[in-house]
Amino acid sequence: MKRTLQASAVALSLLAGCATVPKPSMCFAEAGPNARSFPTPDTWFALLLHGYDKDTGANPRPSVDCAGAPVWWQDPAADECVEAGPDSQALPPAEKLSEEDLVLETLQAGQRLVWVQTRRFTNGEALGPVALVESTEQGFRVEALGSLRAMAKHTKLRLEKVKGTQILVAEGDACTSGDEEVCRRHARIMPLRTNRFFSESVSNANRACLGAAWFPLSREMTFELPNGLRRKFELTSTLTFAEEGISVQEQVQVSDSDPAQPDVAPRLYRRAQDTRTLELANNALVGNKASLWSRMVEQQVRIGARAVPEAPIWAMPAKKAPTDAAALEPASKAQAPATTGAASPPAKAAAKKPAGSAATSSGP
């Protein structure tokens, strides 16, 4: 009995010792009482971005998170999955970061979700490091870290729990510009495994890819049919989180219109709804079926319909025209033989080339 009690005492002392060991953190930044109570955007930029300079506010390129991992994202391609990720192009990174590039969400006292947007895309998304941050008596400690790509406007971050696993949910809007702003909400989900948020695709039971863990909550797409009519698809969907899994409810309305008769109202063609489930199994997001949207769109492709390209939320900037020195250099070279005679055709072509190389703004 004595040995048992001694062993128990040793075991209890070991457990007590383990309980006092601080949790390992991925990154840490010291901060005084005032900085902890009133952190500035620079505080978060410096915490999450390796090489960030508070004095200049310059956006580090390439982006590397505070743990040394590249800020990187790749959605599944069309030939890899039933449904590819969103179609977009990366915009040139901003020279400096501002308050508009920061998303903060307080989960509870001393605990925040922080997202720094270091790069944007033509479809309204942004990419950057995201972290679960805790305040301590010494400063700020990063408990979990990853790269997040999600819609950049009106973004809301939260954590949900499914089968004991925390899941980061990022909801944001893609809003059109112009006289009448139209916003459509989208969601990204990223499971937290150990201390990393992972960008996982949704697969079926056989591990074949069904699509990205990207869920438009509101979406539109128009097709041109072989008979000349236009067919418009409108989607509304909701995400529901429970301990046993994730439920995705989808409703799609389809209407037809005739471009030759613009005054005639669109005619309802079809309504459809369906529910699919996602589970966390064996370190993977497993779905029971492809989305209703992808199945209905596939039907249109089979009958020969052509999708009308969507306008980008943010257009690609115009390419820079050649500098004066660059423009004059070919011309000066072309003038060399002119001292002895007329300019040759190749010289004229060389003189015209720089002016024609300037490009206008283009979309994806």
- pLDDT tens for 259-305 read 999 999 999 999 999 999 999 988 889 999 999 999 999 999 999 99
205: in domain: yes
Closest CA to 100 of 144, 167, 38, 153: 153
Q: What is the pLDDT of residue 177?
A: 77
- What is the DSSP track for 43-87? HHHHHHBTT--TTT-B--SS-BBTTS-B----PPPTTTSSS----
226: in domain: yes
349: in domain: no
Contacts of 222 (CB under 8 A, 6+ apart): 230, 231, 232, 233, 307, 308
18: in domain: no
Tokens of 306: 């052509």
Q: Are 117 and 102 in contact (CB under 8 A)?
A: yes
Q: What is the pLDDT of residue 25?
A: 62
Please give the model's pTM, rounded to 2 decimal places. 0.79
Enclosing domain of residue 173: 27-308
Q: What is the pLDDT of residue 323?
A: 55
Q: How many folded domains does the chain comprise?
A: 1
201: in domain: yes
Average pLDDT, the chain: 83
Interhelix angle 324-335/345-356, nearest 10 degrees: 170
Q: What is the pLDDT of residue 355?
A: 38
* pLDDT beneath 70: ranges in the chain: 1-25, 320-364
pLDDT digits over 17-30, tens only?
333 344 556 899 99
Contacts of 201 (CB under 8 A, 6+ apart): 75, 76, 81, 209, 210, 211, 212, 213, 285
344: in domain: no
Tokens of 145: 């870290």
Q: What is the pLDDT of residue 49?
A: 97
48: in domain: yes
In angstroms, rounded to a whole number, what is the distance separating the alpha carbons of residues 239 and 222? Answer: 24
6: in domain: no
Backbone angles phi, psi at 5, to 5 degrees: -65, -40
Q: What is the pLDDT of residue 78?
A: 78
